[in-house]
Structure 1
């Protein structure tokens, strides 16, 4: 049974001390297990369940819908902890336990006792300490301590004291929405309307129903914003992928072109060097052959005894008719720089054409930025 705002306000009024009837318990019951909420969570449609109950309910289903209103969700909802309802359930449980137990005055322990702490009988507004009867004795005997203001025992005494006047915070300023002491009402809050803390507490508790409704609306708005942000992220990823793909393709083609260009340049240089090496080898062989012929003819001269034959042979040796004029023979190294520059120009031209196909990544990123 889902609790509406009016029922919530009626239940909370008066601190929920009277919440012992079965109707009050139903207001804090999970619609699935029908027991008091345990770790309550909220669905996007605004209904509340135990976290374990709604989780198991959806685990067994192919579709995700609300067990109360049957609203169908396309994806499994991201359930949120209902902190406000959890605090209200805790208050309800405490009120039930208090009702079931004998009504006893809450005891404030002595702050001085070690080991087992005895019940405090007084709290000092100067020392911010609560004392049992034994440890209170110096305040009743020592002159300086006797001037301290003693009050009925209070727990968390320092938190309940006005930092400016060292007086109990017993009133509530409705103008500035803060707790004040009696001295504050004649100083800083002189012209402000003030009421007892208990009275303001009861009013605020009665308004918790409206507060919960506003909190639920805020949660749903945040959940919708989360979905919007996630959708925008997916669109940005898709846009980035479509922008990057042509650029990656163009750059890969450029890389292949550069690799091919380097291989072609290397092959061309090797071929020119090989041609030069073959030319040098041929000339060297030719020169070596002429050297061998000359040596042979010189050797033959030493064996000629006929003067006429000797002189004729010597003359042909000095003026060989079929030998090359080696003074005009030169070896020129092949020009590599011209071919290199030609290849480089082709690579640059290819690079420019490829980069024209690369998208403007900066513009693409700007389109993905949040407005």
Structure 2
């Protein structure tokens, strides 16, 4: 028999219907060849039987027989044709370890030989009896990494005690008493955990994005406050006289420096948050990529490094506080008090009051601290002297000498503001005290002992200090506003109805939590003093 022409191409052995190499080639009466399955299916779908190539019609369905010559030639050229059909390896695919020159894509990996094979080089494993017993799996790269370094056996088990992949011999040596499971079983467990880790990472990202937005909002409010404070300062100082131009410049510089400090702090925090978001985003990508792999060993070996999120800062307690401008203008003008005493009375107290009122807090009175003579309303908003000492259980927090009561709420940072109605009262005390104030023998009511209060009776209004500071007594004082900037050490009192400033204590040393203090004084002090002190909601339209 003459040798086959080596220059023949795949087209010479292709079915014109499926365009693939003949499978059981058969011939029609007109001499054309097709796969038996292809021509049979073609005629099953036709009314008349004809040749798909030349369209010759047949009266009856032809009896098809295998074309032995074509079949033998397909068998002879089959191997070379298969090699030609095999694709070259692409990036991220496993290459054949046997190919020289152009590497073809591996179709199987042998766990006995530790070699990956293309279709051509896999042929001995499909033909030779001994090689047929080898364990073939889907193509894998880095086969050496899948072997136990100590026993040279396949890593196919997972030690739950030490969280590592082990071989069968490891279970009777180093990991003899450890519980082990197949890789697939642990893979499924870790896959379930991976979803939780991904959700946690996404939540961390969202929390930090929220932190960034809150910081940006704070900065925007700070800028607005700064602009407003500067504008008020310009208006007031311009109205005073040319002699206070330096005071105006100093005020502007002070406000801008505080704003700059706040913006710098916010910028640093945002950079930190953005860096953590970048790290968490990278981690999320790694988690997502790992969740898509079906490589059990690679998954489990990589999972250990992804199980715990990257170290992050606890941002729940981090915040940017807008700089306080309350009292800034007043402190600047205090430097010129001797020459500008009259002009200071013209300060826009109304604008300042509106600014501090935005820091309103909801406070209620604590009955455990109330002197036995005091009667509190059910909502904890009102207190008056009942005139009779009640028999109540001993409590170390209770005032026993001073007819006073504290609020339940305390404050150890930031700013807070509240208002108390003093209408129809002939005497009262009002302010803030530190938490450790003496509740039994409290007599020295000064800032040095942790007490910042104003005292009122019909004849005078004073800020309790050493010495006392006597304040201008205004007729018709009905409601007092109290503002504290803990971090700035500032305490201010306001006549809410008249919308004027009463007094400010600057440079206060607040070293512990502060409570608001209310004392309605004796119900018969300076006449009829039975009216209650009432913690009132803030109405900025007053």
Normalised by the length of structure 2, the TM-score is: 0.23
Larger C-alpha radius of gyration, 1 or 2?
Answer: 1
Normalised by the length of structure 1, the TM-score is: 0.31
Which structure carries more helix by proportion? Answer: 1
Which structure carries more strand by proportion? Answer: 2
